[in-house]
Amino acid sequence: MRIDISGHQVEVTPSLRDYAQDKLGKLGKHFEHHLDTRMILAVDNLDHKAEATLNIPGRTLFADATASDMYAAIDLLADKLDRLVLKQKEKMKDHHRGESAARSDSFG
């Protein structure tokens, strides 16, 4: 998994970079494919904002989060991306393999 982290009006310190890579690195366990992530950290007045674009095969996912602390914003962002990735993974599964009422001969 490749993670590109940049800052907009904020310096991305090594500890902040390591924290973000650790949080977003956990998303790679959901897919066997190579994931490409671009993350932007920004400060607007007193709000700390983290946004990320995650490229997976066939789809691009985007999420953003705002908090009073940059580490909290990264946590919220990682949770949102995790939910999006799980939702996308469910969509990619073949749901037609199990038994259904429409396929069975008995209706009742």
Q: Which of 52, 56, 54, 53 is nearest to 33 (CA)?
A: 56
pLDDT at 19 over 70: yes
CATH topology of domain 2-91: Double Stranded RNA Binding Domain (3.30.160)
Percent of the chain past pLDDT 70, that is, above it, reads 84
pTM for the model stands at 0.79
Count how many residues are written for the chain: 108
Residue 16 Rama label (left phi>0; alpha psi -120 to 50; beta)? alpha
Domain ranges of the chain: 2-91
- Residue 107 vs residue 80, higher pLDDT: 80
Contact yes or no for 64/49 (Cβ under 8 A) = yes
Q: What pLDDT score does 96 carry?
A: 56
